[in-house]
């Protein structure tokens, strides 16, 4: 079955809502992720506006959402991309990973919000690790 743009946006809207709820985010947080104001994001969820391919790609890549599920409603919502076991410690790419993280935190306000929230909670829970010796 082929859907036109209007039908597709009405199909995708509830999926955007399902993703947001599964992440525990507010509409304001998701709007910030897309660089929108809340009413603009609400129109995505309501099926009033088609999010566009760039928004779909960002959503799929950032939250590991299956593009097939997002567009067609088929298969699992989350992609299974478990990396293969490695003999490496994983520290070989730390500098490039940190640079990438900082660049993305500057570009994506929702990421910055989540990372800083995690960091502050970690400091509260593990304060003894941060004390100068």
What DSSP assignment string belongs to the chain? ----HHHHHHHHHHHHHHHHHHHT--HHHHHHHHT--HHHHHHHHTTSS---HHHHHHHHHHHTB-HHHHHH--S-SB---PPPP-SS-S-TTHHHHHHHHHHHHHH-HHHHHHHHHHHHHHHHHTGGGGS--
Query: What is the domain partition of the chain in residue ranges?
Result: 5-72, 94-128
Q: What pLDDT score was predicted for residue 133? A: 43
CATH 1.10.8.50 is held by the domain 5-72: no
| pLDDT tens, per residue, the chain with 133 residues | 566 878 888 999 999 999 999 988 999 999 988 888 999 999 999 999 988 888 898 888 888 899 999 988 999 998 875 444 444 444 455 567 777 887 888 888 888 888 888 877 878 887 777 776 4
pLDDT value at position 18?
94
């Amino acid at each position: 079955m082929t859907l036109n743009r209007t039908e597709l946006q009405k199909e995708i809207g509830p999926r955007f809502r399902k993703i947001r709820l599964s992440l525990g985010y507010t509409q304001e947080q998701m709007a910030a992720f897309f660089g929108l104001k809340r009413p603009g994001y609400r129109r995505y969820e309501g099926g009033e506006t088609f999010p566009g391919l760039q928004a779909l790609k960002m959503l799929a890549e950032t939250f590991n959402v299956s593009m097939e599920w997002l567009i067609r409603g088929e298969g699992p919502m989350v992609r299974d991309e478990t990396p293969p076991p490695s003999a490496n410690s994983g520290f070989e790419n730390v500098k490039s990973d940190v640079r990438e993280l900082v660049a993305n935190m500057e570009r994506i306000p929702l990421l910055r919000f989540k990372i800083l929230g995690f960091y502050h909670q970690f400091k509260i829970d593990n304060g003894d690790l941060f004390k100068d010796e």
